[in-house]
Amino acid sequence: MRRGARRRRGGTLMVTGRVLSASAVVAVLTMAGPASAQPPAQMTAAVGGNMNHVPSFVGVEKGIFLKHGLDLKLKVLNTGQEMAKALQAGEAQIIGSAYSNFPVAVERGMGARGVVGLMGDRTSRYSDDPISIWTRKGTGITKVEDLAGRKIGTPVGGTADEYLGVVLKRKGLSREKVNLLNVPPGNLVSALQGGGVDAVACWEPFGSLVQARVPEAVLVSRGGGHIGYYINMAVRNDVIDKSPELVERYVVALAEAAQYTRQHLDDAAEIATRWVTGLDGAVAKQAIRHMTFDPRITQHTVAAWEENVGILLEQKKLRAALPWQQGIELRFIEKVMKSHPQLFSDLKPVP
């Protein structure tokens, strides 16, 4: 789906990122409850154009945010680094916060904390099934060790980059043993297919896109419990301090959208095709089955923060250890889990 001024249901594609407002569906909603007594509060969330953020897409298109008194606009970007820049520029109050890059942004001065989980199995410290490494037939690459000396395309600084480094290390290879090329997510398929790189490391739906569109694509590695690939949705610190009731409503709404996504995978996948450039329904339905949408923030995901910080230090992306309290705020999700237990009833219990 191209960028530009093309109209679609509920919003306009924009050159700087696709922005769609929940207010586009207000005419077809019958508002109920306390949130209907006043106009919905306007907020903007910077999210990724990928499968990680399907609950946000669902929440807008199904009117869930409006139901809870929020007119949420989504600014769709490519990477976590772009999301951090949007928040720091005042273009968003909420961003996706992946453990692979969010600590780096906080260390560099970004003031935001994760208030609700988005993606990742929260019953364990490790959850990385959405990440995969692919090559094409004829490269001679069949296993991770074969990546030594080869050109690997990935969005540098993202979660797939972190995953690649950990997987290489566990096979006795340093990151310096591969030629790492910074390839944006949307260019990974063409880079591999055209021979610009020998392999790619990516998250969904790009792994499923490679499998579907690169003739004789070869899977080198997927998941395996190497890292804790978790994404929380983070809210700017000043909003947390000044408008806690607004933050709580957002957490309730996202938890409801995540539950709808879990219970209606195919419908959610179709919704994703209207937000993710170049994504068709068949690939989306395959990709979404590698995802876990869990809004909880558990002791396992807090521990995963600390472990990811250690990896980032080792990979020289962080200068010093960053305590989880600087990037995570537990009180909102803990309160919502008590006040709205039905939104979590279909999730696996946390051991």
* DSSP type of residue 178: S
In angstroms, the CA 212 to CA 123 distance is 31
The pLDDT assigned to 6 comes to: 34
Q: Per CATH, the architecture of 132-222 is what?
A: 3-Layer(aba) Sandwich (3.40)
CA distance 283 to 50: 12
- Using DSSP's 3-state secondary structure scheme, residue 4 falls into coil
Question: What is the domain partition of the chain in residue ranges?
Answer: 7-123+229-344, 132-222
Q: Quote the distance between the C-alpha of residue 13 and its chain's center.
A: 20
CA dist 293 and 288 (Å) reads: 10
**Strand, helix or coil at 60?**
helix
d(CA 161, CA 167): 10
| Residue from 155, 102, 129 nearest 324 by CA | 102
**CATH class of this structure's domain 7-123+229-344:** alpha beta
Model pLDDT, residue 35:
47
pLDDT in tens for each of the 351 residues of the chain?
333 333 333 333 333 345 555 554 444 444 444 444 689 999 999 999 999 999 999 999 999 999 999 999 999 999 999 999 999 999 999 999 999 999 999 999 999 999 999 999 999 999 999 999 999 999 999 999 999 999 999 999 999 999 999 999 999 999 999 999 999 999 999 999 999 999 999 999 999 999 999 999 999 999 999 999 999 999 999 999 999 999 999 999 999 999 999 999 999 999 999 999 999 999 999 999 999 999 999 999 999 999 999 999 999 999 999 999 999 999 999 999 999 999 999 999 999
Is the bond preceding 351 in cis, omega lying within 30 degrees of 0? no
What would you report as the CA-atom Rg of the chain, rounded to the nearest whole angstrom?
A: 19
Would you state the pLDDT for residue 11? 32
Spatial separation of the C-alpha atoms in residues 60 and 42, rounded to whole Å: 13
CA distance linking residue 79 with residue 344, whole number of Å = 28
For residues 295 and 345, the answer to whether their CB atoms sit within 8 Å is no
Are the CB atoms for 158 and 102 separated by under 8 Å? no
Residue located via tokens 């001679």 = 140
Cβ atoms of residues 94 and 65 within 8 Å: no
Find, among 188, 125, 114, 126, the residue nearest to 156 by Cα.
188
- 263: amino acid identity, one letter: Q
φ, ψ at 132 (rounded to 5°): -145, 160
DSSP summary character for residue 248: H
Q: Which residues make Cβ contacts (< 8 Å) with residue 282, sequence separation at least 6? A: 212
Same fold, 7-123+229-344 and 132-222: yes
Furthest-apart CA atoms within the chain: distance in Å: 64
| Residue 88 identity (one-letter amino acid) | Q
> CA neighbours within 13 Å on the CB side: how many for 225?
4
Residue 323: predicted pLDDT: 97
> Per DSSP, which regions of 99-150 are E strands?
112-119, 132-136
8 Å CB contact between 225 and 126: yes
Distances (CA, A) of 166 to 87, 102, 172, 224, 226: 29, 18, 10, 11, 7
Query: Tokens 């806690």 belong to which residue?
Result: 244
- In this structure, what token pair is assigned to residue 148? 């030594």
φ, ψ dihedrals at 90, nearest 5°: 80, 15
Closest CA to 11 of 89, 3, 51: 3
**Residues 199, 293: Cα–Cα separation, whole Å:** 28
How far, in Å, CA of 284 to CA of 138, rounded? 27
The pLDDT, as a whole number, for residue 38 is 84
